[in-house]
Amino acid sequence: MKLSNEMMNAYADGELQGAERAEFEALLQNDPDAQQALQDILAVKRQLAQAYRGAAVPAQTPSRTMNYRLAGYAALLLLAFSGGWLGSNQMHQSNAQPLADARSLSPTNEMLQVSNVQSAAGKYILHIDSKDHLKFKTALDRAEALVAMYQAESHPYEIEVIANAGGLDMLREGETPYGDRIRQLSQRYPNIKFIACSNAIERLQEKGVKPNLIASVHQGETALDQVVKRMNQGWTYMKI
Amino acid sequence: MKIFKLACRRVALVKRIEHSRTKLYRMALAWCHDPMLADDLVQETQILALQKLHQLNNEAAFNGWIYSILNNAWLGHLRKSRPTEDIDRLVVADAASPEHEILMQQVDLMVRSAMSLLPNAQRQVVSLVDLDGLSYSEVADILQIPIGTVMSRLNRARAALAESIIKRRRQPVQTAVQGERLDAVKLRVVK
């Protein structure tokens, strides 16, 4: 039996297994022409792999990176709408943590960072999606505790509290019991930013309800978009 | 935690797409032999991949998935720019040209030049197998062709490459071109 070129290629590419491979090797031993042909195939493989390895990849221009990121976030938004997660209320009850030791919390379900992204110290995104007033309080307590901790060490920090779904009520005049506290925090600490998810606002408006947000609250981003962006930048995510 | 898990998976996949840039670029270059076009194809592939992230259910299939997108981008480009030609048979260089002669003098460039003379269908198969070590069945999936076709195209591609690379190297190089001509020629080659 003569070894076909296809067989030799398959052997060179590791596509022959078990008995087929053993049979091929037995035949190869007595076929100097096939041995030479196999050597040629292996040489071509090696040289081809080598030939493009040195190709310099052009640097990405900032505008291109921007387009690419925008496209990515647009895709995320689409998913957010189609996935229906915004309405999810199945969130676990968190215990009020002793706040001064926020920094020493081990990465748990409530405080997470994305591996393989370099973590940015002092940057936190706190996410609230429930209309539970106790959780409103927890969110504000945590934000304040983080500020206290970083200020005590004169360490720069940035904190975002992002609210979506039921959590939006925390930032609505007339709905939140913490309006004054939020106004004070915003005024006293410019590095705490309260953000209302634009999807959640839209949903209220669709129902004909005016969101009536506290004046210092930021708008424009969606929760998922913002969380992904911050996590990409190494921020720590805390679910309230 | 749904939002976090979703976001985490997205972040990981977005990173993976970003990190695929080098290998996508090399593959695209092996297919089109035009650095600028290769860069455009990679860009297009990355954007499409981000938009289609939700279609990727099995992350183990990432490689095949992203190369399929690259393949579609490349074929789309060919259909637009060469609407009347048989894409499978398309070569991206001319064997009789002085460019080809000059490139043959340096091993890597020679190999690339030999690649550029292969019909597109063969060039795509052999680069998927040899640049990224994909299996025949992965290549068949990416290019939407039967495994038998992968094998026969690979065989023809390698035979042609062996002919121009190995057999040629066994012969003494005869071409001699003057310096200024070489520069002019190179400029044209990388356009």
**Mean per-residue pLDDT over chain B, rounded:** 80
> Which tokens is A60 given?
């990405």
Task: Tell me what pLDDT residue A75 has.
Answer: 54
Helices (H), strands (E): how many in chain A? Answer: 8, 5
Q: How far is CA B186 from the centre of its chain?
A: 20
> Which tokens is B39 given?
């860069």
Angle between the N-to-C axes of helices B35-51 and B62-81, in degrees from 0 to 180, rounded to the nearest 10: 120
Binned at pLDDT 50, 70 and 90, residue A93 comes out as: very low
pLDDT, tens digit (0-9, with 9 covering 90-100), for B73-127: 999 999 888 777 787 877 776 555 666 555 555 677 788 888 988 999 999 999 9
Q: Which residue has the higher pLDDT, A133 or B110?
A: A133
Is B15 an 8 Å CB contact of chain A?
Answer: yes
Cβ partners under 8 Å of residue A202, min gap 6 = none
Task: Tell me what pLDDT residue A123 has.
Answer: 87
> CA B54 to CA A33: how far, in whole Å?
50
Is B12 an 8 Å CB contact of chain A?
Answer: yes
Alpha carbon separation from B2 to A87, A91, A138, A189 (Å, rounded): 11, 9, 20, 30
What residue of A is the nearest CA neighbor of B149?
Answer: A6
Amino acid (one-letter) located at A136: F
Q: What would the mean pLDDT of A80-107 be, rounded to a whole number?
A: 37
Residue B165 is classified by DSSP as: I
What residue of B is the nearest CA neighbor of A82?
Answer: B54
Report the gap between the CA of A76 and the closest CA in chain B (Å): 8
Choose the mutation target among A6, A7, A9 for the interface with B, i.e. most B CBs under 10 Å. A9
What residue of A is the nearest CA neighbor of B53?
Answer: A75
ipTM above 0.85, yes or no: no
Q: Which of B47, B159, B162 shows the shortest C-beta gap to A71?
A: B47
